[in-house]
Structure 1
Amino acid sequence: MRVAAVSLRTAHHEETDATGRFRTVLELLRDGGHDVHVLCARWWPDDRDVVADDGITYHGLVPTRDAGRSFCWRLPIAIRRLGADVVHVAAEPPAQVLAARWGTTLSNVPLVAEWTGANGSKETRDYRRAARRADAVVTPSRLVRTWVRELGVDGEDVAVVPDPIDLDRIRSIEPADSTDVVYARRLDEGANLESVLLGLAELRTKDWTATVVGDGPRRGAYQEMARELRIDDRIDFVGAADRDERIAIYRGGHVFAQTAEFCLYPTELAWALACGCVGVVEYHVDSAGHELVEGRERGFRTTSETELTDAIVTAGQLERTDFDDSFEALDRRAVRNQYLNLYETLQDEAGLF
């Protein structure tokens, strides 16, 4: 299948939640043997119109990512010339969704919009128009699906497709040293690590260790807070870690705490649960963290610091394990098939088979 992916800005320009998610989709399709073409602004240093990078072909419609208006003008014809079977567009900025719609109309192919929720629950006229023009909208979580439906999109036209994990990769990595509680996220103003620190401080008379994975502008403040709470000798702030290092830590961990106030999809929690951790999630209205633990024996949803502390204690009494094979639905193959099934369904509905 030939897929035209539309994104003025790519992860080559800037690594964000939105561009990172879109890159993952491209890599899933590429790894499945599909022909992936990205219509974007040039990110390479010379003036070539087309470059190939890691099995994906990039078409630079404009010289810089600031040329959004020119990009939208050129997009419909570029889609028509490419001759793709489906067009998959990033929803940010929304103007490119509208331009891509013109291109798919000319080419008579389906349009799928990848709606990460990076704009929050913003309800501007442009976002409403963009959401309604796609044949289907993909979101990473039920939380973001709700935001899209509030823009006037029929719920049947919104598919929830999670960020993928790699079970084979998890199996291949040995667990790190044992630790009782793990937290992993960029340490910024939305991290809310203080909930975990305060909960652990209530348990200072008990025997436990914790590992904090991640770096960011709040790291120093959180380390100072741990010192003030007199628990810094039991917490290892390991800083930024690559995926293999994170997997090893999760496999050596017992409980994973998810307390961020804003979370479009709890990617690190998903990896940790598959690595055998028990999930403890603090509920927040703008976080999808709780979606992965609802109804699970090895998962707890809390709404206060007291509940969080109690849940950590209860979770710590459950059996330790370093792998959970019940997360097959989140594996890369399964997630790729969700996208392919969506494409084929849209093609079938349009009479393109």
Structure 2
Amino acid sequence: MRVAVVSLETVHHRDTETNWRLQTVLELLRDAGHDVHVFCARFWDGDGRTFERDDVTYHGLAADVDARHSFVARLPVALASLGPDVVHASERPPSQVLAASWGATLARAPVLLEWYGDDAPASDGWTDWVTRRADRLVVPSELVATWARERGVDGDDIEIVPNPIDVDRIRDTPAGDAVDVIYARRLDEGANLESLLLGLAELRDREWTATVVGDGPRREEYEQLASDLRIDDRITFAGECSLEERIAAYRGAHVFAQTAEHCVFPTEMLRALAAGCVGIIEYHVDSSAHELVEGWDRGFRTTSEEELADAILEAGDLERREFDERFADYDRDVVRDRYLAIYRSLQESNGLL
């Protein structure tokens, strides 16, 4: 299948969750032998309009991400010239969605719109109208699906496809050191690590150890808070860790705590749950983390530091595991096949099969 991925900006321009989501999708398709073409702004040296990297063809329709108008103007004809089987577009900027729709019409191909939601702008008439132009909208969680419905997207046109994880890699990675509680996220203004630290401080008279994985601008502040709470001797701030190191840490941990205030999809938490951790989530209106543990006997949803501390105690009665088969449906191959099924469904509904 020939897939045209449309995104003015890529991971080669800026490191964002949205860009990495799209990068993951094109890698899944490429690894399965599909012909992947990315229409974007140039990120390579020279004036060449196309660039090959890792068996993916990049089409540079603009000199840089600031040349948005040039990119949008060239996109419809470029798509028609390629003749893709499906057009897979990113939601930002909205003008590229409209141009991708025109190009897909010329190419007689359906349009799938990928809306990850981590940098979603405030709702406005133009963005809302453009969002409804695609044949199908793919989002990572029910949280983002709700945002889409609030913009007027028909619920029947929305597909929830989670971020994938490499289940075999998790299963095969040796477990790291045993620890009672682990937290993993960039330590920035949205981390809300203080909730976990305050919850752990409630258990000061109990025996426990904790690890915080991640770095960021608030790390020193959090380390000072742990010291002020007199629990710093039981918490290891591990800093940035490789994926291999993180998986090993999850397999050695008993509980994974998710307290971030904003999270459209908790990929690190998913890895930890697949690695056998009990999940404890502090509920926030702009976080989808609770969706992974609803109806699960090894998951807890909390709304305060006191409830979080109680959940840690209750989780202590559950067995330690190093792998949980429940999360095998999030494997890379399964997620890739879900995208392919959506593509084929769109082709069929448009009379292209």
Q: Deviations over 1:162-197 (max 9, x none)?
A: 000011111221011000000000100110000000
> Counterpart of 2:73?
73
> Deviation of residue 126 (structure 1)?
2.5
The residue that corresponds to 1:225 in the other structure is 225
1:239 paired with 2:239, answer: yes
Counterpart of 2:55? 55
Q: Partners in 2 of 1:271 and 1:56 — Cα distance?
A: 27
Query: Counterpart of 1:72 in 2: which secondary structure?
Result: helix
Whether 1:274 aligns to 2:280 is: no
CA distance in 1, matches of 2:96, 2:235: 46
The CA deviation at 1:120 is: 3.6
What is the alpha-carbon distance in structure 1 between the residues aligned to residue 261 and residue 79 of structure 2? Answer: 39
The letter of the residue matching 2:230 is R
Q: Structure 2: any 5+ residue segments left out of the alignment?
A: none
Equivalent pair of 2:94/2:130 in contact (CA under 8 Å): yes
Instruction: After superposition, give the CA deviation of every residue in 1:44-97 in whole Å (9 maximum; x if it has no partner).
Output: 112111111112110111111110111000000010011110000000111110
Task: Give the match for residue 2 of structure 2.
Answer: 2
Runs of 4+ in 1 over 4 A off after TM superposition: none
User: What does residue 213 of structure 1 align with?
Assistant: 213
Equivalent position of 2:300 in the other structure: 300
The whole-number CA distance in structure 2 between the counterparts of 1:225 and 1:120 is 32
Match of 1:149 in 2: 149
CA contact under 8 A between 2:6 and 2:90: conserved in structure 1?
A: yes
Q: What residue number does 1:250 align with?
A: 250
- Aligned residues of 2:123 and 2:151 also touching (Cα < 8 A): yes
Q: Aligned letter for 2:29?
A: L
What CA distance in whole angstroms lies between the structure 1 residues aligned with 2:231 and 2:126?
Answer: 49
Which moves more between the two structures, 96-105 or 111-120?
111-120
Alignment of 1:130-141 (within 5 A): 130-141=130-141
Q: What is the CA RMSD across the aligned residues, in angstroms?
A: 0.8
Contact preservation (8 Å) 1:121, 1:147: no
Distance 1:294 1:147 in 2: 20
Residue of structure 2 equivalent to 1:101: 101
Deviations 1:184-211 (A, max 9, x none): 0010011000000000011011110000
Q: CA deviation at 1:306?
A: 1.2
The one-letter code matched in structure 1 to 2:15 is E
- SS of 1:276's partner is coil
Match of 2:16 in 1: 16
* 2:80–2:107 contact (8 Å) kept in structure 1: yes
Matched letter for residue 30 of structure 1: R
2:288 equivalent in structure 1: 288
Q: In the alignment, residue 194 of structure 1 is paired with which amino acid?
A: E
Q: Which residue of 1 aligns with 2:319?
A: 319
Unaligned runs of 5+ in 1: none
CA distance in 2 between partners of 1:298 and 1:127 (Å): 40
Map of 2:111 onto structure 1 = 111
TM-score (norm 1): 0.99
| 1:121 CA displacement | 6.4
Give the TM-score normalised by the residue count of structure 2: 0.99
3-state DSSP of counterpart to 1:137: strand
Match for residue 172 of structure 1?
172
Identity %: 59
**Alignment-mate amino acid for residue 204 of structure 1:** R
Which residue type is aligned with residue 332 of structure 2? Answer: R
Partners of 1:247 and 1:272 within 8 A in 2: yes
